């Protein structure tokens, strides 16, 4: 299903149960992501899509000295990609070449023109989310806006955000329901959106055997999709079920692809690697709000710099009674929940 990107603007706020007294604000359109929307449907890219997965590959000398044939496709071996360095070890020039390679492959495999970049963390900034559970009504606009922003595979569908429907008076996730439908909010229900908490003491980063995931200075836990070996140990480690695995090559139509891509964030992932929410770092490091926040028609989501005492999140954490999920695990999350 194709929905226009502009739904994340204020127009949508009107369409969704809001009184028609609001008009779109000027300047709002700039904040919405650009998208080369084209109705050119259904271009099968099944063959060339697999190409860059590499063909015959030397396997894991670290474990056994055996070799295994991997991913027979119709592409050629990209040895530069195969021997690509860990992202943190690349020079600026090497990164530029890699970004170019990713864009080229996206063009070849998905037919879309994309721009790959990687905005650096901003000095002194530490991102955080605050989510009002009194306001969230469980409409899942954030879930779908996230999918459109971050180029997740549509089949099998990968979603970063899970909204848990809980009985009022209980925060026991095991009693929650993720598959509710229909009119929301339901009577005596509370809705709790879950996504990566960008923990300051992240079990996933500790677990990763190859340092393919790490914490950035602005608090965001990122993944180098070209370094991840797909062992899924981080998924076992995560107490928030934030991480998703690409069991198959992500399937996206050309018009579904968001062309504004970040190397460590929303570029189309290769098969067999783990991905997760990254606070839309390709947007937020440029000053914009994350896509889920923009799409939220209730205003339950607050985002900003926790290190800036004047920011909403800092004031909320200081002045409201906030809590984090599974605090007893000492993961020190960066998503705070509160009731007001």
Partner 1 sequence: MSTYIRYWLDMLRCVATGSLAYYLWLGFLGLGIMAGGVALSQQIEHGLVVTNMSDHVSWGAYIANFTYLVGVAAASVLLVVPSYVYHRKDLKQVVLIGELLAVSAIVMCLAFVMVDMGRPERGFHMLPGYGRLNFPSSILAWDVIVLNGYLVLNLHVPGYLLYKAYKGETPHRRYYLPLVFLSIAWAVSIHTVTAFLYSGFAGRPFWNTAILAPRFLVSAFASGPALLIIALYVIKRTGTLEIATSVFDYLRRVMTFTIPLNFFLLGCEVFAEFYTDSVHVMSAQYLFFGINGHGMLVPYIWSGLAMNLFALVVVLTPKLHTQPAWLLAGSAFCVMGIWIEKGMGLIIPGFIPSPAGDLVEYAPSMVEFWVSIGIWSFGIALFTMMTKAALALTSGRLRANRPT
Partner 2 sequence: MQRRQITTIGARGVVFLAAVGLTNCTAPPTANRSRAADELPAGRVAISGREGRIRQFPCEGCHDKVDADDMPVPDGPAKHQSIEIAHFSGARSCNICHDPTNRDRLRLLKGSTTSFDASHLQCGQCHGEKMRDWNIGAHGKHVGGWRGTKHRLTCVDCHNPHKPARATMQAEAPPAFPRFGIPKGAH
CA 3 to chain centre: 19
Q: Are 154 and 144 in contact (CB under 8 A)?
A: no
Choice from 20, 23, 69, 92 touching partner 1 (CB under 8 A)? 69
Q: b/e string for 75-110 if b means 16 or more Cβ within 10 A?
A: beebeebeebeebeebeeeebeebbebbbebbeebb
Neighbouring CB atoms inside 10 A of 328's CB total 6
Choice from 131, 141, 194, 223 touching partner 1 (CB under 8 A)? 194
Choice from 78, 241, 308, 312 touching partner 1 (CB under 8 A)? 241
Rounded least distance, CB 128 to partner 2, Å: 9
Q: Are 21 and 1 in contact (CB under 8 A)?
A: no
**Which residues within the stretch 283-322 sit at the binding site for partner 1 (CB under 8 A)?**
none
**Which residues within the stretch 16-35 sit at the binding site for partner 1 (CB under 8 A)?**
none
Contacts of 152 (CB under 8 A, 6+ apart): 146, 158, 159, 160, 244, 250, 275
The residue among 228 and 313 lying less far from partner 1, judged by its C-beta, is 228
Mapping DSSP to helix (H, G, I), strand (E, B) and coil, where does residue 249 land? coil
Contacts of 211 (CB under 8 A, 6+ apart): 86, 227
Residue 212: contacted member of partner 2, partner 1, none (CB under 5 to 8 Å, by partner type)? partner 1
Residue 75: contacted member of partner 2, partner 1, none (CB under 5 to 8 Å, by partner type)? none
| Binding region for partner 1 (CB under 8 A) out of 3-11, 124-132, 204-212, 288-296 | 204-212
Among the listed residues 21, 1, 13, 337, the one whose alpha carbon sits nearest the alpha carbon of residue 193: 337
H or E element: which one contains 1?
none
The residue among 1 and 65 lying less far from partner 2, judged by its C-beta, is 1
- CA–CA dist 340, 338 (Å, integer): 7
Rounded least distance, CB 247 to partner 1, Å: 4
Choice from 17, 209, 217, 299 touching partner 1 (CB under 8 A)? 209
175: its two tokens: 């009693």
The residue among 3 and 326 lying less far from partner 1, judged by its C-beta, is 326
The residue among 243 and 282 lying less far from partner 1, judged by its C-beta, is 243
Among the listed residues 143, 135, 137, the one whose alpha carbon sits nearest the alpha carbon of residue 186: 137
The residue among 53 and 314 lying less far from partner 2, judged by its C-beta, is 314
Rg, C-alpha atoms of the chain: 20
The residue among 35 and 158 lying less far from partner 1, judged by its C-beta, is 158
- CA–CA dist 242, 245 (Å, integer): 10
Total residues at interface with partner 1 (CB under 8 A): 66
Rounded least distance, CB 132 to partner 1, Å: 19
Rounded least distance, CB 297 to partner 2, Å: 7
Choice from 15, 22, 38, 206 touching partner 1 (CB under 8 A)? 206
Q: Give burial (CB, 10 Å; 0-12/13-18/19+) of 218.
A: buried
- CA–CA dist 206, 175 (Å, integer): 29
Rounded least distance, CB 201 to partner 2, Å: 5
**Which residues within the stretch 127-186 sit at the binding site for partner 1 (CB under 8 A)?**
156, 158, 162, 164, 172-176, 178
- CA–CA dist 103, 262 (Å, integer): 11
Residue 94: contacted member of partner 1, partner 2, none (CB under 5 to 8 Å, by partner type)? none
Choice from 33, 126, 203, 304 touching partner 1 (CB under 8 A)? 203
Which residues contribute to the site for partner 1 (CB under 8 A)? 54, 57-64, 68-72, 82, 86, 156, 158, 162, 164, 172-176, 178, 194, 203, 205-212, 227-233, 235-241, 243-249, 270-274, 326, 328-330
């Amino acid at each position: 299903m194709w929905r226009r990107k502009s739904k994340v603007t204020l127009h949508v706020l009107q369409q969704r149960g809001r009184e028609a007294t609001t008009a779109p604000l000027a300047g709002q359109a700039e904040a919405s992501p650009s998208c080369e929307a084209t109705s050119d449907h259904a271009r099968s890219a099944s063959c060339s899509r697999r190409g860059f997965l590499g063909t015959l590959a030397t396997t894991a000398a670290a474990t056994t000295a055996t070799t295994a044939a991997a991913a027979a496709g119709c592409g050629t071996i990209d040895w530069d990609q195969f021997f690509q360095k860990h992202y943190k070890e690349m020079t600026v020039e090497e990164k530029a070449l890699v970004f170019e390679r990713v864009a080229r492959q996206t063009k070849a495999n998905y037919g879309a023109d994309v721009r790959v970049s990687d905005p650096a963390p901003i000095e002194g900034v530490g991102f955080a989310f605050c989510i009002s559970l009194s306001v969230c009504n469980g409409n899942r606009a954030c879930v779908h806006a996230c999918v459109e922003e971050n180029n997740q595979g549509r089949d099998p569908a990968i979603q970063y955000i899970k909204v848990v429907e809980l009985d009022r008076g209980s925060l026991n996730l095991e009693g929650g329901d993720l598959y509710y439908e229909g009119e929301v909010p339901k009577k005596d229900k509370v809705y709790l959106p879950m996504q990566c908490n960008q923990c300051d003491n992240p079990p996933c980063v500790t677990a990763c055997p190859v340092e393919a995931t790490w914490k950035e200075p602005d608090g965001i836990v990122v993944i180098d999709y070209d370094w991840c070996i797909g062992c899924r140990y981080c998924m076992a480690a995560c107490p928030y079920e934030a991480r998703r695995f690409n069991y198959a090559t992500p399937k996206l139509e050309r018009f579904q692809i968001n062309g504004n891509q970040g190397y460590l964030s929303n570029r189309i992932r290769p098969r067999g690697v783990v991905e997760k929410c990254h606070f839309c770092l390709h947007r937020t490091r440029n000053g914009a709000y994350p896509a889920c926040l923009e799409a939220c028609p209730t205003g339950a989501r607050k985002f900003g710099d926790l290190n800036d005492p004047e920011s909403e999140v800092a004031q909320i954490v200081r002045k409201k009674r906030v809590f984090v999920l599974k605090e007893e695990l000492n993961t020190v999350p960066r998503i705070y929940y509160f009731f007001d």
